[in-house]
Structure 1
Amino acid sequence: LVHADLEGGGDDDVVRKLVGDLTAAGVDHDESTVRRALAQQMIEARRQLLEAQ
């Protein structure tokens, strides 16, 4: 994911990588689910950073 994130701006490259990995693993998913999960994790990461300060 780190390598995918460096390929371009925004989240599109990360979403493509995650969708590809999930598909290869046979996990039922769709792009909107991946984007929602990514957004939720970003909220949690920001919360934890603010708590740590």
Structure 2
Amino acid sequence: MSLTAVIIILLCLGVIVSGILLLKQSAKKFNLTEQQLKEIKARNRQLEKEEQQEK
């Protein structure tokens, strides 16, 4: 393998790894309030009822 091919491969690997690390660093959990959690649960129950009616 030539030196240029090795440099290109290392550069590509560096770009991929840095992209993955950036995604991992920027990912964060949602901090939901109690009201938001209640609304989500109510919406899920409503969707489940609609799905059961369709069957």
TM class by shorter chain equals 0.3 to 0.5
Higher relative contact order (CA 8 A, sep 6+): 1
Whose radius of gyration is greater, 1 or 2? 2
In terms of fraction of residues, the more helix-rich structure is 2
Q: What's the TM-score, normalizing by structure 1?
A: 0.45
Q: What's the TM-score, normalizing by structure 2?
A: 0.44
